[in-house]
Amino acid sequence: MLHTVNKSPFGHSALDECISMAADGATILLIEDGVYAAKAGASYEGKLKAAMGNVKVAALGPDLAARGITACIEGVTVVDYDGFVELVAENKMTAWV
C-alpha cells in the first residue's frame, strides 16, 4: 500500500494516524505540506525515523524545493511526479487527506 500525507505533522494528526496504520513494508509518500515531516533537525525526526524501521518514507521533491527544505532526514527517498506515478502503479493508494 502507498499512503500519501499532505498535512504538516506539526498541526495535524494525519501522519501520526497514517504511521499507526501503515503495514510493514508500506510506503508513505509525503506531499504538499506533508513534506515538513521530512525536514532534518525538526522535532518529528525521531518519530519518522522510528516509523522507518517498518515502512519506507518518500517525499515529493518539488514540494520540498517549494518550501526551501534542502536537508531531509536520512533514509527518506526523494521522488518527482514520475516517481509518484511509479509508486501508484506499484501499489494501491490511501490518501490521509
Check residue 84 for interaction with another protein (CB under 8 A): yes
Which grid cell is 22? 501503515
Question: Smallest Cα–Cα separation from 94: which of 27, 36, 48, 49?
Answer: 27
DSSP 74: T
Distance of CA 18 to the CA centre of its chain: 10
Cβ of residue 89: shortest distance to another protein, in angstroms? 5
Check residue 50 for interaction with another protein (CB under 8 A): no
Which residues make up the interface to another protein (CB under 8 A)?
A: 1, 4, 6, 13-14, 17, 20-23, 31-33, 60, 62, 80-82, 84-86, 88-89, 92-97
